[in-house]
């Protein structure tokens, strides 16, 4: 029968009464079973689309009520209906999210099914009926028989709507399934869900102030965070049931009980580490609230956990707590305070003890990471340290890195407040006044400019000149730099602008000149030599080496003697030099010389450059004014080919 005709709403001859706790799709499945067909066949012959029933179309539900002689309003109340919100469903007046309704499978209680088989009439397949609570993902234990529900996962998602047809193959062995499911202890959590589905609320139960989807999910995740704090992987069904009951026991008692549970999580985590992330402390509960930020129903729980967490745990600055960034934590630890003040933890412990902060914990010898005090009081304690800063803060004020900072200390430009010299600066203290005085001396006489191509700020110029920043600052402080600029609108350390050429000249004048050659300098003496050829020539004893202090590298390094490089250049010539001198390419120069019997003096595969004996080249080209001309080159090529053919003929004979 085609589906483009008007649906048939006439009542079925065989039908059954709608149960008070029966879901609409289960009612439709029983109608089909009592008439000896599948749900899909029944809807097809009545001109109804199965997808309309699955999506909760209101007109389809009312049509189904007419077919089964049921109250349409009651059937709509017990149907899974769509809502204006995406992926939200309504059932018995409650709104559920994508994690609340079973859409591709269903659970059932084998003991309830056995009761239906023994007490109901009609075909066996039409006797079991689908309870509303079985459609909820949070419902796992029958509140009447205290038995774990069993899951049926049809191969087709549409078959999940046909409860009776999918359950029919299991009816013969239902007693065995009931025995396997066993009897568990009573579950207050699942009994509460059943009461909520019956529209019952307890004024003494704090969970009844929340939507069912919120309370059910919260109990599950809160209990899992308490019972299984070290497991963030998938839990078993039995473990989830335990977690649900534990979470229900705590949450139903109200906010004070949940705060006590949060406090236990705080203590458990702070025994293990210092500063942690919220998810590491509150585990499943935090994850639930974090992924439901768009659900206003969870807002009371988010506020409860956020208010408690921010006032009882020393979070790191910038921590994201369920969408709220903690810029200034209300609590700080000794470890965190010591890090911020750049002093030792022992110093902060003594200061805190003098001011009565964390006195009991310090006396008990608790680790510094576990001693937390109010942030404002901690700031008052360390205020006396603000006149000096540690190396990290000093580096931040100057905008330089650790190695550069150590160089300033080693050169005496910066000195420790307590008279300690160069060395490990991690525990040093530096005067902010000295740092400001250094900046003022550097910028003295500087004019505001916009840097040109040959001008650079003090932070960038060392990289351009391959020099130490301490070396450049010394030139500035000694008054050797004639011109100084300052970035417009700035007066900090990095605002100093210098002339690159002037500073480069001063650095070269202040450094001792290099007598010999670095590897990269050798090609400047031996024209056309690759820098990759220097080491092979050294290995072949063609270049001599020695050691010398290289000013740029600031260490003793191996260098090539200038005399050996000049001697090599007098004795040998590269193909590159010949090509540049005579206006031919390197390959052409090599072929011209090979045509007259001049071969490379070294294996090019070894030395990475084509090199000829200069004497042999001069002897071969002597008296040949057109040797490097194109016409003479063509003649040489013909002579070379003739010589090769003659040599091949001699070998054959």
SS3 490: coil
Whose CA is closest to 39, among 53, 55, 58?
Answer: 53
| Model pLDDT, residue 151 | 92
Give the percent of the chain with pLDDT over 90: 39
Q: Where are the domains of the chain?
A: 24-188, 201-326, 331-386, 391-510, 570-649
| Model pLDDT, residue 425 | 57
Rounded Cα–Cα distance for residues 489 and 404 (Å): 26
Distant-in-sequence, close-in-space partners of 38: CB < 8 Å, separation ≥ 6: 32, 162, 165
Which tens digit of pLDDT belongs to each residue from 364-401? 888 887 788 888 888 777 765 666 777 788 888 887 77
Q: Which residue has the tokens 């534990």?
A: 246
Which tens digit of pLDDT belongs to each residue from 292-334? 998 999 999 999 999 998 888 888 778 888 888 888 888 888 8
Whose CA is closest to 269, among 326, 243, 318, 230?
Answer: 230
Rounded Cα–Cα distance for residues 35 and 314 (Å): 66
| Model pLDDT, residue 341 | 76
Once rounded to an integer, what is the mean pLDDT over residues 117-125?
92
Secondary structure element (H or E) that encloses residue 368, with its range: none
Whose CA is closest to 351, among 383, 328, 391?
Answer: 383
Rounded Cα–Cα distance for residues 220 and 193 (Å): 12
pTM: 0.57
> What is the 3 state secondary structure string of 546-602?
EEEEECCCCEEEEEECHHHHHHHHHHEEEHHHHHHHHCCCHHHHHHHHHHCCCCCCC
Which tens digit of pLDDT belongs to each residue from 123-150? 999 999 999 999 999 999 999 999 999 9
Residue 70: is its pLDDT beyond 90? yes
For residue 635, what are the CA distances in angstroms to 118, 406, 640? 114, 69, 9
Q: Strand pairing of 484-487 and 447-449?
A: parallel
Q: Buried (b) or exposed (e) across 41-72, using 16+ Cβ within 10 A?
A: ebbbebbbebebbbebbeebbbbbbbbbebee
For residue 330, what are the CA distances in angstroms to 316, 372, 377? 10, 10, 10
| Model pLDDT, residue 5 | 62
For residue 53, what are the CA distances in angstroms to 14, 38, 50, 213? 20, 14, 5, 23
Q: Strand pairing of 324-326 and 319-321?
A: antiparallel
Residue 461: is its pLDDT beyond 70? yes
Angle in degrees, 0-180, between the axes of helices 188-197 and 212-227, rounded to the nearest 10: 170
Q: What is the DSSP letter of 517?
A: B
Which tens digit of pLDDT belongs to each residue from 464-476? 777 777 888 888 8
Once rounded to an integer, what is the mean pLDDT over residues 499-505?
84
Which tens digit of pLDDT belongs to each residue from 410-439? 778 887 654 445 555 555 767 787 888 888
SS3 88: coil
SS3 9: coil
Once rounded to an integer, what is the mean pLDDT over residues 525-548?
89
Q: Give the DSSP letter string of 60-86.
A: HHHHHHHHTT--HHHHHHTS-EE-SST
Terminal CA-CA length for the chain: 98
SS3 474: helix
Whose CA is closest to 446, among 410, 482, 395?
Answer: 482
Once rounded to an integer, what is the mean pLDDT over residues 213-241?
88
Q: Classify residue 286 as exposed, middle or buried by CB count within 10 Å of its CB (0-12, 13-18, 19+).
A: buried
| Model pLDDT, residue 262 | 94
Which tens digit of pLDDT belongs to each residue from 245-296? 999 999 999 999 999 999 999 888 765 445 678 888 899 999 999 999 989 9
| Model pLDDT, residue 222 | 96
Rounded Cα–Cα distance for residues 617 and 631 (Å): 19
Distant-in-sequence, close-in-space partners of 640: CB < 8 Å, separation ≥ 6: 594, 595
Kindly report the average pLDDT of the chain as a whole number.
85
Residue 564: is its pLDDT beyond 70? yes
Once rounded to an integer, what is the mean pLDDT over residues 595-615?
89
Q: What is the DSSP letter of 153?
A: -
Q: Among 165-169, 383-387, 515-519, 588-592, whose mean pLDDT is lowest?
A: 383-387
């Amino acid at each position: 029968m085609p589906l483009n005709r008007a649906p048939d709403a006439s009542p079925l001859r065989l039908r059954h009464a709608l149960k008070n706790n029966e879901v609409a799709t289960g009612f439709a499945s029983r109608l089909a079973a009592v008439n000896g067909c599948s749900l899909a066949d029944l809807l097809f012959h009545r001109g109804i689309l199965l997808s309309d029933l699955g999506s909760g179309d209101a007109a389809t539900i009312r049509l189904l009520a007419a077919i089964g002689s049921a109250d349409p309003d009651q059937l709509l109340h017990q149907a899974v209906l769509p809502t204006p919100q995406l992926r939200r469903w309504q059932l018995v007046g409650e709104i559920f999210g994508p994690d609340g309704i079973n859409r591709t499978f269903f659970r059932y209680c084998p003991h309830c099914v056995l009761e239906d088989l023994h007490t109901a009439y009609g075909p066996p397949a039409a006797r079991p009926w689908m309870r509303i609570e079985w459609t909820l993902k949070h419902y796992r234990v029958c509140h009447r028989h205290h038995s774990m529900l069993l899951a049926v996962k049809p191969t087709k998602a549409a078959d999940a709507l046909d409860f009776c047809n999918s359950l029919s193959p299991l009816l013969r062995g239902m007693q065995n399934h009931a025995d396997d499911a066993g009897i568990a202890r009573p579950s207050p959590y699942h009994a509460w869900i059943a009461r909520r589905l019956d529209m019952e609320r307890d004024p003494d139960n704090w969970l009844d102030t929340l939507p069912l989807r919120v309370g059910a999910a919260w109990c599950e995740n809160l209990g899992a965070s308490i019972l299984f704090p070290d497991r963030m992987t998938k839990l078993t069904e039995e473990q989830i049931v335990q977690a649900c009951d534990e979470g229900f026991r705590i949450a139903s008692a109200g906010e004070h009980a949940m705060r006590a549970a949060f406090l236990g999580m705080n203590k458990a985590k702070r025994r293990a580490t210092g500063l942690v992330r919220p998810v590491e402390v509150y585990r499943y509960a935090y994850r639930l609230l974090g992924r439901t930020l768009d659900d206003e129903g969870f807002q009371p729980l988010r506020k409860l956990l956020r208010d408690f967490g921010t006032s009882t745990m020393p979070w790191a600055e910038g921590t994201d707590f369920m969408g709220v960034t903690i810029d200034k934590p209300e609590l700080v630890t000794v470890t965190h305070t010591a890090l911020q003040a750049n002093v030792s933890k022992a110093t902060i412990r003594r200061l805190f003890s003098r001011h009565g902060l964390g006195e009991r914990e310090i006396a008990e010898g608790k680790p510094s990471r576990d001693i937390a005090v109010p942030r404002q009081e901690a700031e008052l304690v360390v205020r006396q340290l603000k006149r000096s800063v540690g190396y990290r803060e000093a580096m931040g004020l100057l905008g330089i890195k650790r190695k550069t900072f150590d160089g300033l200390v080693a050169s005496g430009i910066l000195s420790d407040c307590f008279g300690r010299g160069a060395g490990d600066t991690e525990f040093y203290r530096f005067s902010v006044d000295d740092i400001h005085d250094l900046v003022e001396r550097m910028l003295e006489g500087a004019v505001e400019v916009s840097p040109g191509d040959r001008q650079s700020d003090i932070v960038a110029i060392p990289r351009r000149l391959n020099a130490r920043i301490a070396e450049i600052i010394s030139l500035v402080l000694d008054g050797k730099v004639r011109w100084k600029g300052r970035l417009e609108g700035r007066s900090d350390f990095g605002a100093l602008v210098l002339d690159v050429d002037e500073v480069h000249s001063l650095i070269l004048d202040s450094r001792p000149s290099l007598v010999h050659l670095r590897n990269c300098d050798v090609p400047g003496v031996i024209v056309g030599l690759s820098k990759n050829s220097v080491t092979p020539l050294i290995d072949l004893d063609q270049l001599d080496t020695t050691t010398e202090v290289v000013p740029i590298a600031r260490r003793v390094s191996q260098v090539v003697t200038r005399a050996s490089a000049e001697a090599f250049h007098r004795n040998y010539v590269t193909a590159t030099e010949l090509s540049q001198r005579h206006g031919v390419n390197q390959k052409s120069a090599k072929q011209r010389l090979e045509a007259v019997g001049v071969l490379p003096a070294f294996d090019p595969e070894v030395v990475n450059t084509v090199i000829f004996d200069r004497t042999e080249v001069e002897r071969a080209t002597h008296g040949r004014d057109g040797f490097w001309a194109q016409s003479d080159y063509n003649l040489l090529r013909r002579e070379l080919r003739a010589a090769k053919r003659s040599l091949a003929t001699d070998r054959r004979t």
